[in-house]
Structure 1
Amino acid sequence: MLALHATAAQAAPPGMQCDRAASTTEIAICADADLLRLDTQLSAVYGKLAGAQPQQHARLRQAQLAWLKARDQCGSDTHCSSARYEERIAALQAQLRKAIAYKPDSVDLQAIEDLRQAVEAARKTDPVFPLERAIDAIRIKTGMTKFANVNDKKQPYTGAKFPTVRPAGVSRDEWRALQASRIDGGGENGVASYTLMDVDGDGRRDLFIDSYSGGTGLFSFVSALHREGGKFVDELEGDGHLYLINGRGANQAADLIKLRGRVYVAYRNSYYGVDNIYLLRPLTVVGEVPRLAVHYRYRLSVPKVQKDEGKGTVTRLDSALHAAITRALAQVSSEVARDAGLQDKPLCPVPDTVKDDDRDAYYSYGAGHYAYEIVRDMPVWVGGQCFIGRLIDWFGGYSRKDGLFAQLRVRSLKGDDEQTYAVHGLRTAIAGGIKTSVGKVGGDNGM
């Protein structure tokens, strides 16, 4: 970006003009292909932001002039210039996301109300899976073509790559657009999959990219690109995504559905006692969206026969222990998880001989982990002795066969003895507990 035009009509910078490069920084940028690429990317984002916020032209231009002065202090240091570009691009992209984020209209609000009514109707016949029944009735099952990155049989350890041969179900026109767009959603080891589907009803299919990035949460990021002319276009040029899935612990899923003639992604992000469903318009930048919350009530119990699948063992709890654990579970809310830190009061009596930080062991079970949800810490009294218990679950994960996936962990106060017990939970959707609202997509389990 060599210069900024002074008029509001030319508020977007033209990008680097290397035939006019004069300063040490400009000459260094023009000699570096990576810096020129960053300059082009910055110019494009700047232009989009200027177009999205015409009333902010003067302020945006002044901020860009200040950035140019800071960039020019890098001189011939290309690492410095690269860092300045990346910081500025990230800042402008964040502003652009906010400026063009989609706002629900009356059709979206009618759509979420339609979904609420469908779930409420399903609750009367299937109070355990009313949401699943309602979603299945409106899930889009046709008009899609799916394919994925493939491994090179001659070089199996180089990671999967975008196909070099047109996949089955992809038209010649779509294949040309994919190639022209240089699509490659490969994340860790190149793992990515693609779905072609007409989202906006213009007769040409758009593109979903599901890219696995791995990491501690085994994350997959899903983006949607619009078919425009001979290419697939990403509004944020790869900086944004429609939604993500945390594959380790979180209870998240997404379905393509149709309501009021519109295609939506019904994105679910769930917890103990609640399924949160967000209606996402696929070809938009996500802002505030319609939300449906389906609340449940659980009936918790501990089986007398405990199976350890890992060890292949089966044990039977004696009556006293089973009764103690049952009493402890009675302290747990049947509807809401209460993530536990240190309690206001000790869970078990603290002897006078325990001092200072050692007292903390009596107020909480201890540190948790991002892969599961803490439902509650509680005292477990067995034969007059107090133990610390913690009920955990996997963010409301539930199956028709096993019910709620949950465990009760019990430790001694010295922390040298820990036992884990399987807990069963049967849920029922609460009458009057299916509600709509509008807000940001949220969640601690990977969001």
Structure 2
Amino acid sequence: MNIKGRYIVSACALLFTQLATAAGMDCAKAASVVEIAICANKPLYELDVQMGAVYGRLIKAATQRQPEVKSAQRQWLKTRDACGEDVSCLNQRYTDRLQALHAQWTDAVAYQPDDIDKQVTEDLQQRIRDMSKVYPEFALERAVGSLTISKGQTSFDGDPNDDPSEDHTLFPKKTPKGVTQDEWRALTASGLDADAAQGRATYTLMDLDGDGQRDLLIATYTGGTGLFTFYDTLRRDGGRFTRRLTPYDPEAGAGSSLFSISDRGADQWASWIKSHGRTYLAFRDGSYGVDELYLINPLKINRQIPTITVRYDYRLTVPRSQYREADNTTYKLDPGLRKTLSRALIKSNAGKPQQPSESTAPLCPIPASGEGDDNYSSYGASYYAVEPVTDMTVIIGNDCYIARLINWYGRYGEKDGLNALLMLRKPGSADPEQSYSINGRRHVTQVSSEVSARGAELF
């Protein structure tokens, strides 16, 4: 699923694509039209194999709902058999049922936030409110920073690959500095070469569950269009490290993800925090006017995640000094134009984040020879790595321009605050578009929390 320029990898989706090793129906005993059709079609037979594996896991996980699950499966078999030898119908029946079983399996094994999680969320929420009175621009960062774990961690990189054509690293051959011999034996016994094969890997040892033994975080840079880095955790379990999914799916392997970060477009960061004796992965996902902070249980499957939402308003300004990308120089903006652009920003109410307008009314008058309504009602398509904030009208002299304020998903710094661009084009004209730097200073307007159903995408 794509979320503001990033992808979150679902363990459920991963399992769906893996061919289960459990046996499918016994084709030597196939008797009905449906059974013969399935056995004669390899893709259908493989779906039946997956069905057996996922159904078996669900029966084990949903102990109190077994009668209900079994009854639903018997009913599904009737609908499947109604397809007869229609391969397309059978394929659809299996696909739909597998998706339903996966969803039920996830519900059955996912971690359920408890009273301690609720208290942690409420306390952090209040901490952000208190910080906003002193640090109105960076209340969230300060609050999270006050709980960040700063000790007890050891990090090391994978070894360079001997083959220059390969982009992934290799699991280290020698004991890294800061790793005990006991931890090294457990690491080498855990088959971590498969994780390194996914990309350039970095490993961090830290105690994630408070049992006195350090667990393992693996960060793997895979690149791609979003320059993605995927993160997963393994629990220290006796003489080895085991994956989060292993208690529920013994066949789980490398490639699952607790969360991911995109370095192109998205404004995201993650921090390990500790509160009320528990360790959380505080994952922040930002956009214009809002930050969402997810408190993720690092060693569980997370479907419902405590989420804190921080909202901001901005005081937008048009800097006098502007940058000209064509020749990499700066120039002083004409005072009259600067005033015009400032008025347009104020009139658009862009400093108070809002839902994009669905209005199709033209932003500039459509002449009789105009190219059509679409060319006059919005700025047009936008690049995926930037976030459109709002479209507006700018009148310069006697000319009407359509402008769009864009930013990089609320990315914010101490020096300039919000860095944004106001892009202008004259509809119906072949003149090149123009752009002007916009800065903004933010302050917190609202802090709220909920248990987010979007946690279904974060495993």
User: Aligned with 1:115: secondary structure?
Assistant: helix
Residue-by-residue CA offset, 1:354-393 (whole Å, 9 max, x unaligned): 3xx7221110000122211111000110002100000001
Shift of 1:435: 1.9
Shift of 1:213: 3.0
CA distance in 2, matches of 1:249, 1:409: 18
CA distance in 1, matches of 2:51, 2:204: 29
2:271 counterpart of 1:255:
yes
Deviates more, 1:83-92 or 1:108-117: 83-92
Aligned length: 415
TM-score by length of 2: 0.78
Q: Give the AA of the match of 2:266.
A: A
2:414 counterpart of 1:400:
yes
What does residue range 352-367 of structure 1 map to in structure 2 within 5 Å?
A: 352-354=368-370, 358-367=372-381
Alpha-carbon contact 2:216-2:233 (below 8 Å) kept: yes
What does residue range 172-183 of structure 1 map to in structure 2 within 5 Å?
A: 172-183=181-192
* 332 and 216 in structure 1: CA distance in 2 versus 1, 3 angstrom threshold: farther
2:351 counterpart of 1:334:
yes
What does residue range 202-281 of structure 1 map to in structure 2 within 5 Å?
A: 202-229=211-238, 230-235=240-245, 237-238=252-253, 240-281=256-297
User: Aligned with 2:219: secondary structure?
Assistant: strand
CA distance in 2, matches of 1:137, 1:336: 28
Residue aligning to 1:15 = 22
Residue-by-residue CA offset, 1:202-247 (whole Å, 9 max, x unaligned): 1222222222233322222222222223332331525743222122
Residue-by-residue CA offset, 1:95-141 (whole Å, 9 max, x unaligned): 32232222211111110111112112211221111111111111001
User: Aligned with 2:195: secondary structure?
Assistant: coil
Shift of 1:194: 1.9
* 307 and 14 in structure 1: CA distance in 2 versus 1, 3 angstrom threshold: closer
Residue aligning to 2:9 = none
What does residue range 109-258 of structure 1 map to in structure 2 within 5 Å?
A: 109-153=118-162, 155-165=163-173, 166-183=175-192, 184-186=194-196, 190-229=199-238, 230-235=240-245, 237-238=252-253, 240-258=256-274
Residue aligning to 1:420 = 435
CA distance in 2, matches of 1:147, 1:88: 43
Shift of 1:423: 0.4
Residue aligning to 1:434 = 447
Alpha-carbon contact 1:298-1:425 (below 8 Å) kept: yes
CA distance in 2, matches of 1:443, 1:86: 19
CA distance in 1, matches of 2:94, 2:167: 30
Residue-by-residue CA offset, 1:287-318 (whole Å, 9 max, x unaligned): 12222122212110111220236732112222
CA distance in 2, matches of 1:45, 1:311: 60
User: Aligned with 1:254: secondary structure?
Assistant: strand
Alpha-carbon contact 1:187-1:211 (below 8 Å) kept: no
Alpha-carbon contact 2:161-2:168 (below 8 Å) kept: yes
Residue aligning to 1:3 = none
Residue aligning to 2:316 = 300
Q: Give the AA of the match of 1:233.
A: R
* 92 and 144 in structure 1: CA distance in 2 versus 1, 3 angstrom threshold: farther
Q: Give the AA of the match of 1:345.
A: A
CA distance in 2, matches of 1:138, 1:320: 48
Q: Give the AA of the match of 2:180.
A: S
TM-score by length of 1: 0.80
Q: Give the AA of the match of 2:401.
A: F
Alpha-carbon contact 1:14-1:43 (below 8 Å) kept: no
Alpha-carbon contact 1:177-1:232 (below 8 Å) kept: no
Alpha-carbon contact 1:206-1:232 (below 8 Å) kept: no
CA distance in 2, matches of 1:310, 1:245: 31
Structure 1 alignment gaps of length 5 or more:
1-12, 74-82
Shift of 1:60: 4.7
CA distance in 2, matches of 1:278, 1:91: 26
* 194 and 97 in structure 1: CA distance in 2 versus 1, 3 angstrom threshold: farther
Residue-by-residue CA offset, 1:39-58 (whole Å, 9 max, x unaligned): 6x877654432222124435
Q: Give the AA of the match of 2:169.
A: K
Alpha-carbon contact 2:302-2:455 (below 8 Å) kept: no
* 362 and 15 in structure 1: CA distance in 2 versus 1, 3 angstrom threshold: closer
Alpha-carbon contact 1:320-1:382 (below 8 Å) kept: no
CA distance in 2, matches of 1:159, 1:87: 37
Q: Give the AA of the match of 1:168.
A: K
What does residue range 304-315 of structure 1 map to in structure 2 within 5 Å?
A: 304-308=320-324, 311-315=327-331
2:359 counterpart of 1:346:
no
